[in-house]
A = this chain, B = another copy of it.
Amino acid sequence: MLEPIRFLLPGPSYVPEDVRQALARPLIGHRSAAFKELYARVGARLPAVLRTRGEALVATASSTLVMEAAIASCVESQVLHLVNGAFAERWHQISVALGKSPDRLEAPMGEALDPDLVRRALRRKRYEAVALVHNETSAGVMNPLPEIARAVREESDALLLVDTVSSLGGVPVETDAWGLDVVLAGTQKALALPPGLTVFTLSGRAAERAAGVARRGFYTDLLRYLAKHREGGTITTPAVSLFYALDLQLDRILAEGMEARWARHQRLQARTAAWAEENGFAFAPAPGARSWTVSCLRPPDGMAAPEIVQRLGERGYVVGGGYGDWKSTTFRIGHMGEVRESDLEALLAALAEVVVACTAS
C-alpha cells in the first residue's frame, strides 16, 4: 500500500517509497552479468508499456535529448512541427539549433491540434517527418494523436515523431496500432519514476530512414542505441540507480495493467472536471482538448492562481503553477502516475478549504 500522495505536480510526479529505496541499492558495473540481466528484464517489459512489438530503449538523459536525437537521426532537412505549447516550441527550437529546415503548424495555447490542418499542410509540401507533443504539460492539453497519426499516414510517408512525456502510462499510446515511428517519454511523469531516464522506441521504418541520414551525432544517434540494445546493453555508462527504480516500477505498472491505468487517469480527470464545474473553476484548455494526466485550471474571479498554489502548499499539498503566458492566471494539478481517487479527493477537499480562505480574505 502506498502512503497518501500529496505531491501532485505535473512532473516530477510522486515516486513510491519502494521505488525510491531501490535507488539506494549498491552500485554494480554496467558490464556485469547482473546489469545485463537487469537491462534484459527492462527490455522485455518496456514494449508492453510502449505498446509495440518492436524494441524499447532507454537513454540516460532528459527527454529533450531524445527529442533532439529523433530529429538528428530521422531528418536530413524537412520537418513539420505541430506546435501548441512550450514543449512543442522547444522541439521546433531544437530543429533550428540542429540546422534543419523546420516548418511550423500552430494552434493557440489551450487548443488541440487539428488533424485536418495537418492533412492540408502535408498536401502542400513533402516532409521527412512530423513532430508533435501528445500531451502538452504546459497547458494541460491532450492532442488527438490517433487522428493526427491517421492524417499523416494517409497523406504522406513522413515519419511520426511523438513526445509522450506526460501521457505514456496515463493515456492510451498505441505505438504499433497507430503507426507511430519514434515515441519517447521521460520517466518522471505518468510512469512515476525519478527524472533522468527517457524511454523510447523507433519503428523499423524509422531505423531504415535514419540509416540514410548523415551526421546523426553519437549520443543523438538512435541507431547506436538500437545496435547496443541488440548486444544487450547501453551506448554509454547508464544511470544504474535509476535503472533499479525502472525495473521495480515496471512490475507495479504492468501489475495494474495499461488499460486499468489509463482508465484510472481518465476517472481522475473526470472527477477533477466535475469538481471544477461545481466550484466555479474553469478549465484553461478547450473542452475536447483536456489532458487526462494534468488539469490546467483558472480560478473564479477574485482568486489568484499563485495564491491557491501557495495556500495548498501550506496545507501540505504540492500542485503546479501556471506555465509561460498562463503563469499568473492558471494552476495545474498533476493527477498522474500513482495518484488514486482517494488522493485526489483529499486534494480537492484541501482546495475547497483554500477557496473558503481566499474568499474570506
How far, in Å, is A15 (CB) from chain B's closest CB? Answer: 5
Contact call A218/B61, Cβ cutoff below 8 A: no
- Which of B15, B94, B242 lies in contact with A27, CB distance below 8 A? B15
Q: Which of chain A's residues 333-353 have a Cβ closer than 8 Å to chain B?
A: none
Segment with Cβ contacts to B, from A43-51, A204-212, A230-238:
A230-238
A97 CB–B CB distance under 8 Å:
yes
A194 CB–B CB distance under 8 Å:
yes
Q: Which of chain A's residues 212-264 have a Cβ closer than 8 Å to chain B?
A: 214-221, 235-242
Residues in B with CB closer than 8 Å to A14 are 27
Q: Which of chain A's residues 53-77 have a Cβ closer than 8 Å to chain B?
A: 60-65, 68, 72
A12 CB–B CB distance under 8 Å:
yes
Residues in B with CB closer than 8 Å to A9 are 29
Contact call A195/B238, Cβ cutoff below 8 A: yes
- Which of B25, B62, B65 lies in contact with A238, CB distance below 8 A? B62
Instruction: State the number of copies, please.
Output: 2
* A68-B20 CB under 8 A given contacts A14-B27, A15-B26, A237-B11: no
Nearest residue in B to A93 (C-beta to C-beta)? Answer: B218
Residues in B with CB closer than 8 Å to A62 are 60, 219, 236-238
**Count of A interface residues, CB-CB < 8 Å:** 54
A331 CB–B CB distance under 8 Å:
no
How far, in Å, is A212 (CB) from chain B's closest CB? Answer: 15
A102 CB–B CB distance under 8 Å:
no
Q: Which of chain A's residues 74-113 have a Cβ closer than 8 Å to chain B?
A: 90, 93-94, 97-99
Nearest residue in B to A188 (C-beta to C-beta)? Answer: B237
* A94-B218 CB under 8 A given contacts A12-B30, A27-B194, A30-B12: yes
> Can you name 10 A-B pairs with beta carbons within 8 Å?
A12-B29, A29-B318, A62-B237, A62-B238, A68-B219, A99-B214, A188-B237, A194-B239, A195-B237, A196-B196
Query: Shortest 5 CB-CB distances between A and B: which pairs?
Result: A196-B239, A62-B236, A23-B23, A99-B215, A20-B24
13 extra interface residue pairs, beta carbon distance < 8 Å, beyond A62-B237, A239-B239: A12-B27, A12-B28, A12-B29, A15-B27, A24-B24, A64-B218, A64-B236, A90-B218, A98-B218, A196-B238, A196-B239, A219-B219, A241-B241
Interface residue ranges, A against B (CB under 8 Å): 7, 9, 11-15, 20-21, 23-30, 60-65, 68, 72, 90, 93-94, 97-99, 186, 188, 194-196, 214-221, 235-242, 318, 320
